[in-house]
Amino acid sequence: MAFVRIAFVVAVAAIVGASSACAPSYPECATDDHCSEKGEVCVEGFCKQCRDDTQCNPGGTRKCMQCAGDRTCQKKFKCCTSDLDCPGEKCWPHLTDSSRPGECGDPCLRVKCPEGKKCENGQCVDAGCQSNADCPPGQKCVGGQCIEQECEIVTIYFDFNEAKIRLDQESAIQANAECIKKLNQPVTLEGHCDERGDAEYNLALGQRRANAVLRQYKARGVDKNLLKTISYGKERQTCSESNEDCWGKNRRVESVK
């Protein structure tokens, strides 16, 4: 009888030993038990992190995790449960189901700010500017704020040996006059000539040009007490080449504040 019991125990041990010897080596598997030590499941003969989303969201605590095509648990794109899941963005709750995770997005997407305000991190703050393009017409960006742009007085050009205002310069004359009135500051009208001719002749021609511009400004309502004239003749050239294009740049009246 004792012999029978010993034989039975030996037979059972042999069966168990045979079963252990036949278990596949990781990562190969036949059942989930072969992967349990790694916390994984058996998928098509190999241990993987997941078979479906349930392994990636145990107990519903990791709602944004999903089982990807390579059978690894990965975070769903833009999925979130709090702002911590959205660096630089905001976690917006699901629109129809509060039990489902939200979606990361620009914090200003759902914020409409009133005129004069802009959205920063989901809050409406005073609007500033980064460049002149951010400002309304007639204003410029200074220190992050849009301020009224100071007008600019441009140079008036003349034909050779002439002191008459050219037709193509009349709009500049008008704009300059409006700017001088707006600034209400003294302006010196400097007459200049090109390099041709003697110094005495060019001083006189430069003065006639300055006087012609002065008359135009006065006719357009500029206070005469804001204006004075001077001629530099050909002493102050802006271009030194001997050609018509260069000479044309030197035949001018500049308005200097």
- Residue pLDDT, tens place only, 122-154: 677 776 777 777 777 667 777 677 777 778 999
Could you give the residue range(s) of every CATH 3.30.1330.60 domain in the chain?
Answer: 156-256
Tell me the β-bridge partners of 156. Answer: 253
Amino acid at 220: R
**Which residues are within 8 A (CB) of 92 and not within 5 positions of it... i.e. 6 or more apart?**
102, 103, 104, 105, 109, 110
For 16-49, what is each residue's pLDDT tens digit?
A: 454 445 779 999 999 999 999 999 999 999 999 9
pLDDT above 60: residue 104:
yes
What's the CATH architecture for 156-256? 2-Layer Sandwich (3.30)
Going by pLDDT thresholds of 50, 70 and 90, the confidence category of residue 213 is very high
For 88-101, what is each residue's pLDDT tens digit?
A: 888 888 878 888 89
Alpha helices (H) along the chain: 2-22, 170-183, 199-219, 244-250
